[in-house]
Amino acid sequence: MASEVPQFIERDPDVIMSESKAQLEAFLGRELQPAQVEQLMLQFIVYREILLLNRFNAGMSQMLYQFSQAPILDYIAGLVAVERLSAASAGCTVCFTLVPGHGNVLIPEGTRVATSDSEVIFMVADDYILSKETESIDIPVLAEIPGKSGNGYLQGEVNKILDPLAFVSTVTNTDVTSGGSDEETDEQLQERIRLAPSQYSSAGSRQSYLFYAKSANPAIKDVSVSSPIPGTVLIVPLADENEISQKIFTDIYNACNAENVRPLTDTVIVAAPEQRDYAIEVNLVLFDNADASDVRDEISAILDVYAQENRKRLGVDIVRSHINKICRLDSVYDVEVVSPSENVVIGEGEFACCTQITVNVTGFNHG
């Protein structure tokens, strides 16, 4: 993805001022001096022109998907038949327990249950009729409000019945709530626009499978596609905070295994990514005038950002020279990377997880 916004028009204030001043001097037939009224007016006019040119350049950059943002980005996505993925609701399975001696019981669509802290409400998505012999029933429910806020409630924490039902005594979730995700970000949509041409054929190529897999759920941040065995396609997703729910597996499988997507000869497998742990430890020699505490804190923060960024992508190696480079601040005389002791090579279906960051100041040097 491009990182620098292209320059569609000259916007250098010095160049514009020089050109404008030359034209005005030619019109007046004399040279302008800094304190003259004409020069002051010219500075104001050039200032306004720069503002307009900057707005023009920003507007033009919105026409390129690499730099565009909502809502313009959504219109660009429409040109290649792509829509922003909406937020998804978290879900779980809840067990309704009935009192003994009941008759037939209806648990209607829309029945609401809540978490013990009353922060998230879940709803039954369909009608369920229970015979008089039934003592309990497991029913899938979805969060009333889409988003990640419904994720992570442990077994037994969805236990409040907001719509009391005859003969229903208790309710409790039997698994951890998961699958909720926020609306697709601009960065995710930009990546899918880049992959969009691949959707016009079946998902036979790696790029095609990437497009369909990333379109399955907005929680997906990265995807690895490989073929370890001829005729088999292995898809490994990476999601928010590396938490892969069964719902994400199902969404990807359904998207990539559809008859109008998957070539007849392919067998699609969706698997969880593997976590590769590593630790970072560096020894620093600082210049004499450097504050050891400040430098240690600053480099710790830089390394933390480095580790978090690498955790968000699959197959990104941890390279010692990269760690050395980002530690070389102006106040640092020398850097020794103690850990990892060698480059950590991350496989296609793996992600790097930093378990600890240690920054040691081992000495000072006058330089």
Q: What is the pLDDT of residues 109-137, one digit of tens each?
A: 999 999 999 999 999 999 999 888 889 99
Specify the pLDDT at position 260.
79
Q: What is the rounded CA–CA span in Å between residue 49 and residue 52?
A: 5
Residue 66 lies in a domain: no
Residue 321 has pLDDT above 90, yes or no: yes
- 3 state SS of 221: strand
One domain for residues 281 and 318: yes
Specify the pLDDT at position 184.
92
Q: Tokens representing 62?
A: 């919105």
Specify the pLDDT at position 264.
80
Residue 81 lies in a domain: no
- Residue 366 CB burial class (10 angstroms; 0-12, 13-18, ≥19): exposed
One domain for residues 163 and 207: no
One domain for residues 199 and 264: yes
Averaged pLDDT, 84-88: 91
Specify the pLDDT at position 3.
67
Q: How confident is the model at residue 201 (pLDDT cuts 50, 70, 90)?
A: low
Residue 84 lies in a domain: no
One domain for residues 39 and 18: yes
Specify the pLDDT at position 203.
60
Averaged pLDDT, 79-85: 90
* Preceding amide of 197 cis, omega within 30: no
| Backbone angle region of 278, left / alpha / beta, with phi > 0 → left and psi within -120 to 50 → alpha | beta
Specify the pLDDT at position 225.
94
- 3 state SS of 235: strand
* Model pLDDT for residues 175-191, shown as the tens digit of each residue: 999 888 899 999 999 99
One domain for residues 48 and 98: no
Specify the pLDDT at position 8.
87
One domain for residues 168 and 114: yes
Contact 239, 311 (CB under 8 A): no
Averaged pLDDT, 271-278: 93
Q: What is the rounded CA–CA span in Å between residue 105 and residue 127?
A: 11
One domain for residues 138 and 200: no
Averaged pLDDT, 327-339: 95
* Model pLDDT for residues 18-59, shown as the tens digit of each residue: 999 999 989 888 988 888 899 889 999 999 999 999 999 989
Averaged pLDDT, 259-275: 88
Specify the pLDDT at position 245.
78
CATH of the domain at 256: 3.30.300
Q: What is the rounded CA–CA span in Å between residue 20 and residue 229?
A: 67
Residue 72 lies in a domain: no
User: Rounded to the nearest 5 degrees, what angle is found at the Cα of 239, between the Cα atoms of 237 and 242?
Assistant: 105
One domain for residues 359 and 303: yes
Q: For the chain, what is the domain count?
A: 4
One domain for residues 279 and 361: yes
One domain for residues 358 and 289: yes
Contact 359, 292 (CB under 8 A): no
- Residue percentage of the chain with pLDDT more than 90: 68
Q: Tokens representing 140?
A: 């899938």
One domain for residues 142 and 123: yes
Of 36 and 73, more confident: 73
Q: For all residues of the chain together, what is the average pLDDT?
A: 91
Length of the chain: 367
Its pTM stands at: 0.65
Contact 235, 267 (CB under 8 A): no
Residue 213 has pLDDT above 90, yes or no: yes
| Residue at a domain's end among 245, 270, 295 | 270
Residue 79 lies in a domain: no
Contact 105, 98 (CB under 8 A): yes
Contact 217, 251 (CB under 8 A): yes
* Preceding amide of 71 cis, omega within 30: yes
Q: What is the rounded CA–CA span in Å between residue 302 and residue 91?
A: 36
* Model pLDDT for residues 336-362, shown as the tens digit of each residue: 999 999 999 999 999 999 999 999 999
Specify the pLDDT at position 242.
54
| Residue at a domain's end among 173, 199, 232 | 173
Residue 77 lies in a domain: no
Contact 91, 123 (CB under 8 A): no
Q: What is the rounded CA–CA span in Å between residue 15 and residue 53?
A: 13
Residue range(s) defining the domain that contains residue 318: 275-365
Pick the closest to residue 191 from 221, 217, 219 (CA basis).
221
| Residue at a domain's end among 146, 173, 200 | 173
* Model pLDDT for residues 127-177, shown as the tens digit of each residue: 999 888 889 999 999 999 999 899 999 999 999 999 988 899 999 999 999
Q: How confident is the model at residue 366 (pLDDT cuts 50, 70, 90)?
A: confident
Specify the pLDDT at position 198.
74
Concatenating the DSSP letter of every residue in 110-137 gives T-EEEETTS--EEEE-S-EEE-TT--EE
Q: What is the rounded CA–CA span in Å between residue 221 and residue 127?
A: 35
Residue 76 lies in a domain: no
Q: What letter does residue 192 receive in the DSSP assignment?
A: H
- 3 state SS of 240: helix
One domain for residues 111 and 127: yes
Residue 86 lies in a domain: no
Most confident stretch, 35-39, 88-92, 133-137, 301-305: 301-305
